[in-house]
Amino acid sequence: MRFVIYGAGAVGGVIGARLAAGGADVVLIARGAHLEALRRDGLRVESAAGSARFALPAVGAPQEIDWRPGDVVILTVKSTETAAALAALAACAPPDVPVVCAQNGVSNERAALRMLPDIYALCVMLPAEHLSPGVVVQGSSPVPGILDLGRYPRAVDATAEAVAGALRAGGFDSVARPDAMRFKYRKLLLNLGNALEALCGRLDDGATEALDVLRAEGTAALDAAGVDYASAAEDRARRGDTLRVDVPRGGGSTWQSLRRGTGRVEADHLNGEIVLLGRLHGVPTPANDLVRRLVNAAARAGRPPGELTPSAFLRLLRR
């Protein structure tokens, strides 16, 4: 089994490095200055244990890969890039290549299933950061993350078990489970604060009210849509004390996108998912719509994190 990491940023870089450390064959797909650094110097992973360098093959597109039986794609691009990534895979990869969606949000698996038949949902609990070309930061040790997965929409098969085994060999806590999407929906509720964190630069105790409003709308929308999602208690039980963050991040994935000036964030697939469900089922979601619009505007304009405060966001919402 060879793993093709499609999107070797924060999450993809740590997953690829740990899989390789566990003995797996790994190929990275990246772009731009990051790809140049990977080809020139290898992938550098910073953690509490120090710095480690991984000399892994890196390409700029799936068309550059000599595909072979047993390949598995770990899709780790942002949700905004999923459509382009799937189109590229469908054009050159084997039609039965398994694709594991290790992404935030809940729309990627459905989109992938339109293009390819063997799709897996993976719930990412992995504190990581990528701000400099060729470098990713693993934020938790000794266990880098919790990566449970299952065949989409709800099953466990031999491929899911094999991928979970390879992830465990790389040091992750990973199990194959049929209800992986239930935990991805719970993660969606947690990720509704990503856009607010990016706008504010950092969330402190004063953000509690704003976060509560975002997540209350999210819960109401999921309930109205009849979505089955893991409870907060289930999520706490699964996490336990496994993740021990010993290298603090500047911020989450949306914060990192603003910080790097990528011009795009994935709020439409996080807060926007709640807005969509609210509109379909008659649930008002003004807070999620506002934070989605504000962070998209900031990304388009190239503004850095920290231009707003939680109290200012609430004032705008009340207007």
Q: Are residues 149 and 249 in the same domain?
A: no
Q: Are residues 88 and 214 in the same domain?
A: no
Q: Are residues 57 and 156 in the same domain?
A: yes
Chain centre distance of CA 258: 15
pLDDT at 206: 80
Q: Are residues 15 and 140 in the same domain?
A: yes
pLDDT at 203: 85
Count of Cβ atoms closer than 10 Å to residue 192 Cβ: 25
Phi-psi region of 306 (alpha: psi -120 to 50; beta: other; left: phi over 0): left
pLDDT 10s digits, 33-52: 999 999 999 999 999 999 99
Closest by alpha carbon to 139, among 18, 270, 235, 260?
A: 18
Q: Are residues 216 and 251 in the same domain?
A: yes
Could you write out the DSSP letters of every residue in 275-317?
A: HHHHHHHT---HHHHHHHHHHHHHHHHTPPS-S--HHHHHHHH
Number of domains in the chain: 2
Burial class of 200 by CB neighbour count within 10 A (0 to 12, 13 to 18, 19+): buried
Distance between CA 117 and CA 24 in Å, rounded? Answer: 24
Q: Are residues 200 and 305 in the same domain?
A: yes
Closest by alpha carbon to 64, among 43, 88, 48, 32?
A: 88
pLDDT at 207: 92
Range of the domain at 230: 184-318
User: Of 120, 147, 178, which one is at a domain's C-terminal end?
Assistant: 178
Distance between CA 101 and CA 123 in Å, rounded? Answer: 8
Output the domain CATH number for residue 19. 3.40.50.720
Distance between CA 268 and CA 57 in Å, rounded? Answer: 32
Q: Are residues 84 and 124 in the same domain?
A: yes
* pLDDT tier, 248 (very low <50, low <70, confident <90, very high otherwise): confident
Q: Are residues 14 and 118 in the same domain?
A: yes
